[in-house]
Amino acid sequence: MEFNIHWQILTIVFGVAVIMGAVANKTNFCTMGAVSDLVNMGDSGRLRAWLFAMTVALIGVLAMEATGVVTLPGDTFPPYRTANFSWLRYALGGLLFGIGMTLGSGCGNKTFVRIGGGNLKSLVLLVGFAAPAAYLMLWGSIGEAGFFDTVFNSWIQPTAIGLQNYGIQSQELGAIVAGIVGAQNASAFHLVVGAIVAIAMLAFIFRSAEFRGSFDNILGGAVIGLAVVAGWWISGGSLGKEWLDWAQLEPEAPSRVAVQSYTFISPMGDAARYALTPKNLQLVNFGIMALAGVIVGSFLYSIVTRKFRIEWFVNFKDFLAHAVGGVLMGVGGVLSMGCTIGQGVTGISTLALGSILTFAFIVFGSALTMKVQYYMLDEKGFLNALRCGLSDMKLMPKPKAA
């Protein structure tokens, strides 16, 4: 195997992911845990760490774009800034993913971190359910038609809003503002809107004295955010341009050569695809190396700190919850074009409206699932538990007492 620009890029991607995995394990950076802490204990520490990761990533992208170090095209992988605003895809995918990550005890990134720490439940979730579901969404077919196009896109795509029909060239927030006011050049609006959003987020995050005093929360958010910045720089900077130019000259270009950063659901499907033909190294891509790097980083941290622990299912109910969660994560993550990292950090770093919508529905789906699980403990029945959960979230009136 020739060590060319492609493998140079993938090696760097792997190295950054190793750091991500180790730090996520050390700091217990967990987006599902962030929602759980807020819903069950009123603790916003880990949620602020997640928001801090978004803010660091956003500031990094703004700085690189302002200086010309990186220019994110409209056809990044996935296409965050597309003018085709498929709101139903983002909302439904985010909702399914939020439910799935709660049932499966963690998002895609956390699943890899848990595997590295010895959690066999997460390994079963990944190999048996999430990766096959993601593979089916990305590469599966029904007859001659793609599975995704047949099952989802056939009825979701007609609901999409073509922003270009309204004079808006992208779903990036600055472009939307520029389109509304009739400005021709959206770049200045992008930087101004981005700066306002970043300042507002930093003010909210560091308003909490508890967060300011938590080294782990600050470290976790900073490293995850910087890793996303690094991903954009690796694939979209000078080295990335060399990579893209090289791929255009290759008769058989490797998979997923595009400007991109860290995301963890489509790589599950890509990894399953590669596993079917492991000799085809052309299928090893950015996402697969990111996936592997997080697992290795978490494993190394667990071994060095002697925290490696084998974990298994408590009972069949626990297994079933992880199985359903894995399927929903795989389906929902591909449908929404990203997970809590892929959309919740990487996507938001581009100021894409779809990423913000996906983030909101991931949080909503996860929080509602936790509420339903809580009320189900009282054997209220699913529908009654759902009503109580929605009532707690101020989305419907409180059920009348029996």
pLDDT at 2: 62
The chain-wide mean pLDDT, for the chain, equals 94
Q: What is the DSSP string of 67-136?
A: HTS----TT-BS-TT-SEE-HHHHHHHHHHHHHHHHHTTS-HHHHHHHHHTTBHHHHHIIIIIIHHHHHH
Least reliable range by pLDDT among 11-20, 54-63, 190-199, 369-378: 369-378
350: in domain: yes
Q: What pLDDT, in 10s, does the model give residues 252-285?
A: 889 999 999 999 999 999 999 999 999 999 999 9
Please name the residues in contact with 39: beta carbons below 8 A apart, sequence gap of 6 or more.
Answer: 367, 370, 371
Q: What pLDDT, in 10s, does the model give residues 300-329?
A: 999 999 999 999 999 999 999 999 999 999
pLDDT at 401: 59
Q: What pLDDT, in 10s, does the model give residues 38-97?
A: 999 999 999 999 999 999 999 999 999 999 999 898 889 999 999 999 999 999 999 999
74 versus 30: which is more confidently predicted?
30
Mean pLDDT along residues 237-263: 94
Q: Which domain holds residue 255?
A: 5-392
191: in domain: yes
Tell me: pLDDT of 11 over 70: yes
Tell me: pLDDT of 156 over 80: yes
Tell me: pLDDT of 1 over 70: no
Q: What pLDDT, in 10s, does the model give residues 88-133?
A: 999 999 999 999 999 999 998 999 999 999 999 999 999 999 999 9
**Which residue intervals of 141-183 are DSSP H helices?**
147-148, 154-156, 173-181
pLDDT at 253: 84
204: in domain: yes
Least reliable range by pLDDT among 171-175, 186-190, 244-248, 396-400: 396-400
| Residue entry with tokens 């779809």 | 354
Task: Give CA 48 to chain center in angstroms.
Answer: 16
- Kindly report the pTM of this predicted structure: 0.95
172: in domain: yes
Indicate the pLDDT class of residue 378, thresholds 50, 70 and 90. Answer: confident
265: in domain: yes
Q: Which residues pair with 161 in a beta bridge?
A: 85
Domain count along the chain: 1
- Backbone φ and ψ of 161, nearest 5°: -105, 120
255: in domain: yes
Tell me what percent of the residues of the chain surpass a pLDDT of 90: 87
125: in domain: yes
201: in domain: yes
Characterize 368-392 residue by residue with b for buried, 16 or more Cβ atoms within 10 angstroms of its Cβ, and e for exposed.
bbbbbebbbeeebeeebbbbbbbeb
Indicate the pLDDT class of residue 186, thresholds 50, 70 and 90. Answer: confident
Single-letter amino acid code for the residue at 226: L
Tell me what percent of the residues of the chain surpass a pLDDT of 70: 98
Single-letter amino acid code for the residue at 147: F
Q: What pLDDT, in 10s, does the model give residues 278-308?
A: 999 999 999 999 999 999 999 999 999 999 9
Q: What single DSSP character describes residue 396? A: S
Among the listed residues 395, 20, 352, 31, the one whose alpha carbon sits nearest the alpha carbon of residue 171: 352
The pair of structure tokens assigned to 70 is: 């990186």
Please name the residues in contact with 227: beta carbons below 8 A apart, sequence gap of 6 or more.
Answer: 16, 17, 19, 20, 262
- C-beta separation of 139 from 273 below 8 A: yes
- Is residue 276 packed enough to be buried (19+ CB in 10 Å), middle (13-18) or exposed (0-12)? exposed
